[in-house]
Amino acid sequence: MAEAAIGVRIAGLGKSLGENILTNEDLERMVDTSDEWIRTRTGIGTRHIAARQTATSDLALRAARQALDHARLAPSDLDLIIVATVTPDMAFPSVACLLQAELAAGHAAAFDLSAACSGFLYSLDVGARFIQSGRYQHVLVVGAETLSRITDYSDRRTCVLFGDGAGAAVLEPAPAGKGMLSSVLGADGNGRDLMYLPAGGSRRPASMETVQTGLHYIKMNGNEVFKYAVRIMGDVTTQALSGAGLGVADVDLFIPHQANYRIIDATARRLGLPPEKVFVNIERYGNMSAATIPIALREAEEEGRLRDGAIVVLAAFGGGLTWAASVWRW
Ligand code: UT7
């Protein structure tokens, strides 16, 4: 979708990570796997795991404070807080409400958004619309997850993949032509069984039986997700670029969802993007769902890769199925 007259930019970025590190060698002692298999099939070396007492809102709070500092704003400046997560502290209240209280962001409205790994990009789009409509000035968008809490550490097909972290961005108005140039969202609920958490909701409330049969852990058809991811990541990126009137050659930095290095590599090849234009940090963190892209953005900023005027493209896919991409002029 082409953008309106009011631009929306990211004024500040923050990140936080689970306190403990889980290595491939640790996983070798837990399940029948190897460092070699994990590295060659996924590109992952380590992942951060939240300490026992740390919940999603704690990670979100640390990232949010850093993003506000970076934007030189106070919590009282916020009009809206959106948290993208599939691992909230509890079903309700939302993580966004917990965060609003911890930040003392008195007058901000607050809600969570559920779009799995695409959640941060969905939230950026929603936050940007509130600013473009003239309703709000400053929107805090957070992607925060503690996937370790829903990971089965006896299932080698999933437990090697996931980590815990949070990333945050503060949105504010910008001159037209700066900031978000286009954004595309998509979903296909027919793929709902490819990645899901079977129990703990209204369909299958928690019971002795659901706990004993491991239904509170992520279930995933890795092969099918892989195929869909490679196709959709290329398609949604092309759509977002065309919505901004740009082509692949205009891209300075591509920040894809970090789920598997082979998916990132295949997507970049399909698009014709050289490796130096593709941001990759999966080796250190694994897949942190909605938190991967804001954390990558913060690290790209720290590395000086978000220079003024650069064309930056964000793209994600996830459970739902969902997908999204947005194009930014920094
Ligand atoms: O945010 C979105 C979240 N999800 C994803 O993005 C997942 C996308 N999918 C993937 O990343 C990949 O499909 C996986 C990394 C999950 C799996 O890689 P793969 O190359 O598709 O492996 P596979 O599932 O085809 O399994 C190949 C073999 C199987 O053994 P057999 O049946 O051929 O004997 C698996 O049992 O590898 C085995 N295997 C493992 N071996 C060692 C599966 N997991 C492991 C493991 N260590 N951790």
Cα 34 off chain centre by? 27
**pLDDT at residue number 201:** 96
Q: Which helix (H) or strand (E) holds 139?
A: strand 139-146
> Does residue 156 have its Cβ closer than 6 Å to ligand 1?
yes
Task: Report the nearest-CA residue for atom 48 of ligand 1.
Answer: 156
For residue 225, the model assigns a pLDDT of 95
Ligand 1: centre distance to CA 245 (Å): 38
Strands 139-146 and 80-84 come out as: parallel
- Closest of 215, 295, 311 to residue 257, by C-alpha: 295
User: How crowded is the C-beta side of 71, counted as CA atoms within 13 Å?
Assistant: 28
The mean pLDDT of 241-254, rounded to a whole number, is 98
Averaged pLDDT for residues 100-113? 97
Query: Where do you find CATH 3.40.47.10 in the chain?
Result: 7-177, 181-329
What does the pLDDT look like over 132-176, one tens digit per residue? 999 999 999 999 999 999 999 999 999 999 999 999 999 999 998
Asked whether the predicted pLDDT for residue 238 surpasses 80, the reply is yes
Please say if the pLDDT value at position 1 is more than 80: no
| Ligand 1 atom with the shortest distance to the CA of 259 | 6
H or E element that contains 70: helix 56-71
Tell whether the model's pLDDT for residue 242 goes beyond 60.
Answer: yes
> What whole-number distance in Å separates Cα of residue 330 and Cα of residue 35?
38
- Mapped onto helix, strand or coil, the DSSP state of residue 154 is coil
- Decide if pLDDT at 207 tops 80: yes
Residue range 52-76, pLDDT digits in tens: 999 999 999 999 999 999 999 999 9
Q: What is the pLDDT of residues 269-306, one digit of tens each?
A: 999 999 999 999 999 999 999 999 999 999 999 999 99
Per DSSP, the three-state class of 254 is: strand
154 CA to centre of ligand 1 in angstroms:
14
pTM for the complete prediction? 0.97
* Residue 228 banded pLDDT, cuts 50, 70, 90: very high
Question: 209: pLDDT confidence band, cut at 50, 70 and 90?
Answer: very high
Instruction: State residue 16 phi and psi, 5-degree precision.
Output: -150, 155
CB distance 282 to ligand 1 below 6 Å: no
* Residue 322 CB-density burial (10 A; 0-12 exposed, 13-18 middle, 19+ buried): buried
- Does the 181-329 domain belong in CATH 3.40.47.10? yes
Q: Whose CA is nearest to atom 21 of ligand 1?
A: 223
What separation in Å is there between the alpha carbon of 238 and the centre of ligand 1? 28
When the candidates are 2.60.120.20, 3.40.47.10, 3.20.20.80, 3.20.20.70, the CATH number that belongs to 7-177 is 3.40.47.10
Are 206 and 199 in contact by the 8 Å Cβ rule? The answer is: yes
Residue 197: its pLDDT value, please?
Answer: 97
The preferred substitution site among 41, 47, 224, 232 for testing ligand 1, maximizing ligand atoms within 8 Å of CB, is: 41
Ligand 1: residue of 42, 195, 226, 292 to mutate (most ligand atoms within 8 A of CB) is 226
Residues designated as active site: 117, 257, 287
- In this structure, the number of other CB atoms found within 10 A of the CB of residue 14 comes to 28
Read off φ and ψ for residue 232, nearest 5 degrees.
Answer: -70, -35
Structure token digits, residue 276: 């130096």
Work out the average pLDDT over 224-247.
96
Instruction: Report pLDDT for 167.
Output: 98
Q: Is 42 in the pocket of ligand 1 (CB under 6 A)?
A: yes
Please report the pLDDT score of residue 4 as a whole number. Answer: 56
Peptide bond into 321 cis (omega under 30): yes
Residue 6 pLDDT level (bands cut at 50, 70, 90): confident
